Amino acid sequence: MKQLILCILTALCLAGPALAEKKDTCVSCHRGLDGEMAAPVQGMPQDVHAQYGLSCADCHGGDPTQEDMEASMDPRRGYRGAPTAEQIPTFCGTCHADAATIRKFKPGLRVDQLELYWTSVHGKQHQKGDRKVAQCVSCHGVHGILPGSDPRSPVYPTNVPKTCARCHSDAGLMAGYRIPTDQFDQYKTSVHGRILLEKGVRGAPACNDCHGNHGAAPPGVSSVSNVCGQCHPVNSELLKQSPHQKPFEEMGVAACESCHGNHGVQRPTDDMLGAGEGSACTSCHERGSKGHQAAEAMRAAIDGLKARRDAAEALILRAEQAGMEVSQAKFDLNEVGNALTKARASVHAFSLARLGETVKEGEALAEGTTRKGEQAIAELQFRRKGLGVSLVIILGVAVALFFKIREVDRRRGLR
């Protein structure tokens, strides 16, 4: 008897509040089954749909109030069963592409996923009958689907690259499509990848930020600077105004990518500019050409500002280590750093005159900061000399006092 009560209580606890409210024979039967027949209900406690009160019959149809299996899974009662791979996008789209349905649960959720999917490479291939391409469950999972804001979800920002890589790094799977499979390896070592995967900064771009998610497709050559410009608008805008824009368009070269690369994009350094090793300019501009000379001049301007900033920094650091109060100078130094960043960004206009203006502003700031550092060092020297003089005077008085003490002691017979 005790065992029976315990079983009933356990069943009630596991079934959850939904079961307490209405009968759901899908859940109660499948829970008693083994293997893949039990899998659909195992994920239910965490499933985002279940949390909104949806259960098996809301997707698969049928009548969950019927005790009899045949009756509950009767097509005449709306039972649709498990969708085939072909049916999955429209199966999910039944609700997710229907604004009226979604409004009842989460009015802010977009309902254009299916529409976007048909525009994606995945969707187009799917329509052609290719069943190896990704559809909804490939990325979101099935039964036990988590909201994208859950860190365990495969579509949570930091998990997206691995989710895409499940297929795109699979050489066997990709062989038929003639696309590379090293994107994830490149991405992992890129500046974007390191920030997202190592530092966990969710704002850093993952695959979907450049390719789209439900409408995923490689950006066309002409769109690359727009794609990068989502996060780097200043650089993108400057590039559009630059003398590079027209020839890039004519040559069909992807603007940003031609210098920075794509999946493996690295943190840019000043070495990318100019004529030295690691320069991106020399891959197009031959030695002696106008472009080559402009690149060298631009690099010299950036180097000059950097050297001035470094010199001011060293001076302020020296004063600070000696205990001087240099908070204002440090604030100004920060401004010089900002000017250097601005100058580096303005390189994308590929105009020596324009860069010169920015560098000039930065140099004026650096000069003011250096002056503050020099003043601090001069004040330090003044203090040290003042201390020396004071100590000499104090020492002189102390010696005089010492002799006075000896004298009064002698007078009082204390010596």
Partner 1 sequence: MEAKTRSKVLDWLDERLQVQVALSFLAKKVVPLHRHSIWYYFGGMALFLFSVQVVTGILLLLYYRPTAEAAFESVQFIVTEVRFGWLIRSIHSWSANLMVAVLFVHMLSVFLLKAYRKPREMTWVTGVLLFFCVLGFGFSGYLLPWNTLAFFATKVGTELVNTVPVVGQPLLIFLRGGEDVTGATLTRFFGFHVAVLPMLTTLVLALHLLMVQFQGMSVPPSMQDQEDRMKKMPFFPNFLLRDALGWLVALGLLAALAAVFPWELGVKADPFAPAPAGIKPEWYFMFMFQTLKLAPSHILFLEGEMVVFLFFGLCGLGLILVPFLDARSRRGERSPLFTAVGILMILYIVTLTIVGYLVKVG
Residue 202 or 384 with smaller CB distance to partner 1: 384
Contact with partner 1 (CB under 8 A) among 129, 172, 252, 323: 323
Contact with partner 1 (CB under 8 A) among 328, 334, 338, 341: 328
Q: Is 33 in the site for partner 1 (CB under 8 A)?
A: no
Q: Is 222 in the site for partner 1 (CB under 8 A)?
A: no
| Contact (CB, 8 A) for 43 and 143 | yes
Binding span for partner 1 by CB under 8 A among 29-37, 82-90, 171-179, 321-329: 321-329
Q: Would you state the structure tokens that stand for residue 312, as one six-digit string?
A: 């001011």
Contact with partner 1 (CB under 8 A) among 325, 364, 367, 378: 325
Contact with partner 1 (CB under 8 A) among 69, 179, 364, 394: 394
Q: How many residues bind partner 1 (CB under 8 A)?
A: 23
Residue 375 CB, shortest distance to partner 1, in Å, is: 10
Distance, CA of 304 to CA of 410 (rounded, Å): 72
Residue 103 or 384 with smaller CB distance to partner 1: 384
Distance, CA of 335 to CA of 320 (rounded, Å): 18
Residue 97 or 326 with smaller CB distance to partner 1: 326
Binding span for partner 1 by CB under 8 A among 61-69, 76-84, 201-209, 394-402: 394-402
Residue 405 CB, shortest distance to partner 1, in Å, is: 5
Residue 354 CB, shortest distance to partner 1, in Å, is: 37
Distance, CA of 30 to CA of 21 (rounded, Å): 19
Q: Please state, in angstroms and as integers, the Cα–Cα distance from residue 216 to each residue in 4, 46, 171, 204, following that order.
A: 53, 27, 19, 18
Residue 182 or 325 with smaller CB distance to partner 1: 325
Q: Is 321 in the site for partner 1 (CB under 8 A)?
A: no
Binding span for partner 1 by CB under 8 A among 38-46, 224-232, 245-253, 397-405: 397-405
CA dihedral 113, 117, 118, 124 (to 10 degrees): -170
Residue 313 CB, shortest distance to partner 1, in Å, is: 19
| Contact (CB, 8 A) for 41 and 16 | no
Residue 174 or 322 with smaller CB distance to partner 1: 322
Residue 86 or 325 with smaller CB distance to partner 1: 325
- Where in 334-393 is the site for partner 1 (CB under 8 A)? 383-384, 386-387, 390-391
Q: Is 405 in the site for partner 1 (CB under 8 A)?
A: yes
Q: Is 402 in the site for partner 1 (CB under 8 A)?
A: yes
Residue 333 CB, shortest distance to partner 1, in Å, is: 16
Residue 99 or 387 with smaller CB distance to partner 1: 387
Q: Is 408 in the site for partner 1 (CB under 8 A)?
A: yes
Contact with partner 1 (CB under 8 A) among 95, 191, 324, 377: 324
Binding span for partner 1 by CB under 8 A among 124-132, 143-151, 320-328, 344-352: 320-328
Contact with partner 1 (CB under 8 A) among 112, 310, 367, 409: 409
Q: Would you state the structure tokens that stand for residue 168, as one six-digit string?
A: 């795109």
Binding site for partner 1 (CB under 8 A): 323-325, 327-328, 383-384, 386-387, 390-391, 394-395, 397-398, 401-402, 404-405, 408-409, 412, 414
